[in-house]
Amino acid sequence: MIALKAVKKIYTDDGSSTVALNGVSFEIHKGEFVAIMGPSGSGKSTLLHILSFMDRPTSGSYTFFDKKIEEMSDTELAYVRNQEMGFVFQSFNLLGHASVYDNVEMPLLYSEVKVADRKKLVENAIAAVGLVDKTKIEASKLSGGQKQRVAIARALVNNPRVIFADEPTGNLDSQSGGQVMKIFEELHTAGHTIVLVTHETYTAGFANRMIHIKDGAVDSDQLIDKHPTHAGFIK
Amino acid sequence: MRLQDTIKTAAKSLLRSKTRTALTMLGIIIGIGSVILLMSIGQSAQDLIIGQVQGAGSNLVFVTPGSNKGSRFAAPAAVQGIIIKTLNKNDMIALEREASIDLVAPEVRGQARIIYGNNDQAVTFEGTMPDFFPIRNFTIAKGYAFTQSDVDSFNHVLVIGAKIAETLFGDFNPVGKTVRLKNITFTVIGVLDSKGVGPFGIDQDELVLMPVSVAQKQLVGIDYYNSLVIQANANYDIAFAQSRVVSVLRQNHHITNPDKDDFTVQTQADAIDLLSSITSVLKLFLAAIASISLLVGGIGIMNIMLVSVVERTKEIGLRKAVGATDRDVITQFLVEAAILTLFGGIIGIVFGALFTTIIYFVIINFSTIEWTFALPLSAIALATGVSVLIGLVFGIYPARQAARKSPIEALRYE
């Protein structure tokens, strides 16, 4: 599965260094819905970047489904991000001028999926977030909640092993936020593994496991009693 | 990423900001347009100049005093202002006896004002013999050409160019009228057909022709010739005729050492060769000037692409986050640059061709220059190749800047 062992991340800038992660270790299993929580500056975003192969740890080891980050080139990391990961960002990061369809299709452009199969995958992903009627609309014309749903569809389109989300409800009102989290919940129910970073307890409440980060280290790691059938991992 | 997807993505992002794309292309359009235009003008100028030499007659051999040995491009003595008096009537008579030579005409040139009533004009006069007319393809529009007896009797008769006839006489027939040159009275006996600017920029329509005897004795005051113009016999190889001219002149001038030749014998082909070399340099020079605007256009593309890379930092970050490799990003920006320059190049070619056509029509309609239309394929090929090359060369730096960004930093960029 996913395993972090004594992961450290130290940023060096002009001679002074900042420790963002100070020996983080945990595992995440298939089918889990993990919320990583912590105050701002705790290192939770750095942790998500490392988990999602967008950054490398300074020391320690990270294994993602038998792939060790320390042994991989940047191109190999890009390949895994494309094939096995999905991303949802706080600020949506859609191409505003492009259509919903084009936005959702984007990861497939960099994959080996055949052109003929693409359309079906994109349409399925858009249907999964309930935006079929918006397929041809420019992304910039959507509401915040709809934008985040497009972003989720984009994260889903390549059928990833894990979906990573960074404060997915941070830019949304509570109603849209609730809708977005419902979609995550449905995805989880359908068997997707989800790792999200949030500082909102409400958002974290949808997860079945909560990892608290404080000062760059795991402060607590607990299962939430919401999904009694799920066998999560408790440190 | 498949190339089709890259091209589609690049095209979409270019179409998104149409004004900017158009302005970026403008630099290349102007650059390529100028290359096409200037190279075409260069080609037309070359065609014109060479056409004029060819139009001067056929199988021509020119004899000028002084040697240009040592360098093909050295000017003959006469052009350098050195006066050499060795070409004379004996040379002409000896040359006329050669089987490989059909006709020989001497030339004695000078400048003067031609005056008729209140009108006057500066002209180049040329003293020669009747054979000059067939040698140089000069035909008479009105009146007649002078004869050998005019030459022998020192008759003050003139054959004038079409333009002079118009300037001095307007709609009147100049034949039979009396004019003055250097205070000597002449009777106009003929008017030449219009022929336009001849080789070396002399307007043949502004030429005044007279018997060589009159020019020598009464206008210039010399007993030698400035040059000889010879028409070789078409049944002989022109190079053979040329070698015969050299031999005859050496014999007449008692020259045993070829290095001491006091004359230069050139054929029309030599002149065309020389002029081709000169005009090729001119063409190159024009292309070089145009290339500067192309370079500026290329830098413009690089500039806009760099701005675009900064503006699209988040997009680059996103693409990398969802799996684009450095190579994908480089390729996308390079393809964008290539599309800009390719289409800019095509539009530039169209504009260049359009302006070349306009210039052609303006020149042939509003001047007497016999301009020919030329749109060299080499210019089009060069322009297209260069514009795509510019896209790749000037696109590579911005593209690399884009690919170098780490996805997280790029996504965080505001």
Which DSSP string do the residues of B28-91 spell out, in sequence order?
A: HHHHHHHHHHHHHHHHHHHHHHHHHHHHT-SSEEEEEES--TT-TTSPPTTTTT-------HHH
Whether the per-residue pLDDT at B290 is higher than 90: the answer is no
Q: What is the mean pLDDT of residues B161-168?
A: 90
Residue B250 lies in a domain: no
Query: How far from A229 is each of A31, A75, A224, B71, CA to CA, in Å?
Result: 12, 39, 11, 101
Residue (of B179, B185, B204, B202) closest to B194 by Cα position: B204
Secondary structure (3-state) at A55 = coil
A78 at interface of B, judged by CB pairs closer than 8 A: yes
Query: Sign (positive/negative) of CA torsion B45, B48, B50, B53?
Result: negative
Contact B5 A109 (CB under 8 A): yes
Whether the per-residue pLDDT at B108 is higher than 80: the answer is yes
B310/chain A closest Cα distance in angstroms: 15
Residue B157 lies in a domain: yes
Query: How far from A10 is each of A21, A40, B174, B331, CA to CA, in Å?
Result: 7, 17, 102, 33
Question: For residue B113, how many other CB atoms are within 10 A of its CB?
Answer: 11
pLDDT of residue A227: 47
Read off the CATH number of the domain in which A198 is found: 3.40.50.300
Residue B89 lies in a domain: no
Nearest to A106 among B314, B322, B407 (CB): B322
Q: Distance (Å, rounded) from C-alpha B180 to C-alpha B112?
A: 10
Task: Tell me the pLDDT of chain B averaged across its residues.
Answer: 86
Edge-to-edge strands, sheet with A59-64: A16-28, A2-13, A59-64, A67-68
Residue B97 lies in a domain: no
Residues B118 and B199 in one domain: yes
Paired strand residues for B188: B158
Whether the per-residue pLDDT at B79 is higher than 70: the answer is no
Rg (chain A; Cα; Å): 17
- Candidate from A55-69, B78-92, B280-294 with smallest mean pLDDT: B78-92
Say if CB B195 and CB B54 are below 8 A apart: no
Residues B123 and B216 in one domain: yes
Residue A230 lies in a domain: no
pLDDT of residue B186: 94
Q: Which residues of B touch A52 (CB under 8 A)?
A: 321
> Closest-CA residue in chain B for A45?
B408
Q: Which residues of B touch A115 (CB under 8 A)?
A: 2
Residue A228 lies in a domain: no
Residue A159 Rama label (left phi>0; alpha psi -120 to 50; beta)? left
pLDDT confidence bin for A197, thresholds 50/70/90: very high
Contact B323 A93 (CB under 8 A): no
Q: Which residues of A touch B9 (CB under 8 A)?
A: 109
Contact A78 B318 (CB under 8 A): no
Retrieve residue A127's tokens.
């249907």
> Closest-CA residue in chain B for A80?
B323
Q: Which of A13-17, A175-179, B128-132: highest mean pLDDT? A: B128-132
Residue (of B121, B236, B246) closest to B179 by Cα position: B121
Residue B63 lies in a domain: no
Q: Distance (Å, rounded) from C-alpha A10 to C-alpha A21?
A: 7
Q: Distance (Å, rounded) from C-alpha A115 to C-alpha B111?
A: 81
Whether the per-residue pLDDT at B97 is higher than 80: the answer is yes
Whether the per-residue pLDDT at A231 is higher than 80: the answer is no
Question: For residue A80, how many other CB atoms are within 10 A of its CB?
Answer: 19
Residues B315 and B394 in one domain: yes
Q: Which residues of A touch B411 (CB under 8 A)?
A: 89, 93
B327 at interface of A, judged by CB pairs closer than 8 A: yes
Whether the per-residue pLDDT at B76 is higher than 80: the answer is no
A6 at interface of B, judged by CB pairs closer than 8 A: no
Whether the per-residue pLDDT at A14 is higher than 70: the answer is yes
Indicate the DSSP class of residue B254: T
Whether the per-residue pLDDT at A12 is higher than 80: the answer is yes
pLDDT of residue B363: 87
Which residues does B13 contact at the CB level (< 8 Å), separation at least 6?
B312, B336
Residue A234 lies in a domain: no
Residue A158 lies in a domain: yes
> Closest-CA residue in chain B for A97?
B16
Whether the per-residue pLDDT at B152 is higher than 90: the answer is yes
pLDDT of residue B396: 86
pLDDT of residue A229: 43
Whether the per-residue pLDDT at B215 is higher than 80: the answer is yes
Secondary structure (3-state) at B97 = coil
Which residues does A227 contact at the CB level (< 8 Å), separation at least 6?
A33, A208
pLDDT of residue B80: 61
Nearest to B408 among A54, A74, A110 (CB): A54
Q: Which residues of B touch A102 (CB under 8 A)?
A: 12
Q: How many domains does chain B have?
A: 2
Contact B321 A54 (CB under 8 A): yes
> Closest-CA residue in chain B for A154?
B322
Contact A54 B322 (CB under 8 A): no
Residue-by-residue DSSP string for B98-160: -TTEEEEEEEEEEEEEEEETTEEEEEEEEEE-TTHHHHTT--EEEE----HHHHHTT--EEEE
Nearest to A93 among B9, B16, B318 (CB): B318
Which residues does B17 contact at the CB level (< 8 Å), separation at least 6?
none
Q: How many domains does chain A have?
A: 1
pLDDT of residue B156: 94
Q: Distance (Å, rounded) from C-alpha A144 to C-alpha A151?
A: 11
Residues B228 and B294 in one domain: no
A107 at interface of B, judged by CB pairs closer than 8 A: yes
Q: What is the mean pLDDT of residues A44-73?
A: 91
- Candidate from A27-41, B41-55, B327-341 with smallest mean pLDDT: B41-55
- Candidate from A22-36, A106-120, A152-166, B72-86 with smallest mean pLDDT: B72-86
Degrees (nearest 5) of the Cα angle B55, B220, B134? 25
pLDDT confidence bin for A60, thresholds 50/70/90: very high
Retrieve residue B25's tokens.
């292309």
Q: Which residues of B touch A93 (CB under 8 A)?
A: 314, 317-318, 321, 411
Q: Distance (Å, rounded) from C-alpha B224 to C-alpha B260?
A: 19
Nearest to A55 among B327, B328, B408 (CB): B408
Q: What is the mean pLDDT of residues B80-93?
A: 80
A197/chain B closest Cα distance in angstroms: 15
Give the residue numbers spanning the domain of A168.
2-223
Whether the per-residue pLDDT at B379 is higher than 90: the answer is no
- Candidate from B101-105, B115-119, B188-192 with smallest mean pLDDT: B115-119
Nearest to A110 among B1, B12, B315 (CB): B1
A171 at interface of B, judged by CB pairs closer than 8 A: no
Residue A150 lies in a domain: yes
Q: Which residues of A touch B325 (CB under 8 A)?
A: 74-75, 78-79, 110
Residue A233 lies in a domain: no
Contact B325 A54 (CB under 8 A): no
Contact B9 A109 (CB under 8 A): yes
Q: Which residues of B touch A111 (CB under 8 A)?
A: 323
Residue A232 lies in a domain: no
What's the pLDDT tens digit per position in B222-238? Answer: 989 999 999 999 888 88
Retrieve residue B174's tokens.
């100049």
Residue B9 lies in a domain: yes
A44 at interface of B, judged by CB pairs closer than 8 A: no
Out of B201, B232, B263, a domain closes at B232
Q: Which residues of A touch B313 (CB under 8 A)?
A: none
Chain centroid to CA B397: how far?
Answer: 39
Give the residue numbers spanning the domain of B137.
103-232
**A84, A102, A106, best to mutate vs chain B, most B CBs in 10 Å:** A106
B11 at interface of A, judged by CB pairs closer than 8 A: no
Residues B47 and B154 in one domain: no
Residues B225 and B281 in one domain: no
pLDDT confidence bin for B202, thresholds 50/70/90: low
Q: What is the mean pLDDT of residues A74-95?
A: 91
B67 at interface of A, judged by CB pairs closer than 8 A: no
Say if CB B383 and CB B36 are below 8 A apart: yes
pLDDT of residue B294: 81
Indicate the DSSP class of residue A169: T
pLDDT of residue A228: 42
Nearest to A78 among B318, B320, B411 (CB): B320
Paired strand residues for B61: B230, B267
Task: Tell me the pLDDT of chain A averaged across its residues.
Answer: 89
Residues B404 and B278 in one domain: yes
Block residue for tokens 């992002």 = B13
Chain centroid to CA B370: how far?
Answer: 12
Q: Which residues of A touch B2 (CB under 8 A)?
A: 109, 115
Block residue for tokens 């970050």 = B317
Retrieve residue A219's tokens.
């402060």
Rg (chain B; Cα; Å): 32
Nearest to B323 among A82, A89, A102 (CB): A82
B323 at interface of A, judged by CB pairs closer than 8 A: yes
Tally C-beta pairs within 8 A across A and B. 58
Residues B108 and B213 in one domain: yes
Contact B317 A107 (CB under 8 A): no
Residues B311 and B385 in one domain: yes
**A83, A110, A112, A197, best to mutate vs chain B, most B CBs in 10 Å:** A110
A79/chain B closest Cα distance in angstroms: 6
Chain centroid to CA A98: how far?
Answer: 22
